């Protein structure tokens, strides 16, 4: 999996606990539709959905925003809950996931910096 390719449907109750997000994940010609369900929600601080990709099991995705002086530290982590990912947790898979997460967060980071500079 390389992450979200496209958002297919958004629950209007998000990011409340129980809200669903349907996304297409994968790489290139091998997409897979995935459903995320919010399990923990602390708006503006913490969001933890469970992502379910039928063939690959499920994983908890943990996102946190932490005040860091005048800035904000954003952390993203995931932990396999069931399926093949539970047997592949650890190196070198963790290295691949860390690189993927860094690439995935580049665009939102640029947007946040640009909006902060513009005073939005």
Looking at residue 89, what DSSP letter applies? -
Instruction: Classify residue 101 as exposed, middle or buried by CB count within 10 Å of its CB (0-12, 13-18, 19+).
Output: middle
Do the Cβ atoms of 41 and 49 come closer than 8 Å? no
The more confidently predicted of residues 50 and 5 is 50
The arithmetic mean of pLDDT across residues 43-58, rounded, is: 85
9 beta partners: 22
CA trace torsion 100, 2, 42, 80 (10° rounding): -100
- State the pLDDT confidence band at 115, using cuts at 50, 70 and 90: confident
- The residue behind tokens 């449907």 is 9
- pLDDT for res 3: 65
The torsion angles phi and psi of 13, rounded to 5 degrees, stand at -90, 0
Highest mean pLDDT out of 21-25, 61-65, 73-77, 105-109: 61-65
pTM of the model: 0.76
Q: Is the pLDDT of residue 109 over 70?
A: yes
């Amino acid at each position: 999996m390389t992450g979200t390719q496209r958002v297919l449907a958004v629950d209007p109750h998000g990011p409340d606990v129980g809200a669903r997000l349907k996304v297409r994940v994968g790489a290139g010609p091998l997409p897979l539709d995935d459903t995320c369900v919010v399990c923990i929600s602390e708006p503006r601080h913490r969001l933890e959905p469970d992502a379910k990709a039928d063939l690959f099991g499920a994983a908890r995705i943990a996102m946190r925003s932490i005040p860091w002086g005048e800035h904000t530290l954003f952390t993203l982590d995931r932990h396999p809950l069931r399926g093949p990912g539970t047997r592949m947790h650890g190196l070198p898979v963790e290295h691949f996931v860390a690189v993927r997460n860094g690439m995935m967060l580049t665009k939102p980071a640029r947007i946040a910096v640009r909006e902060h500079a513009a005073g939005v």
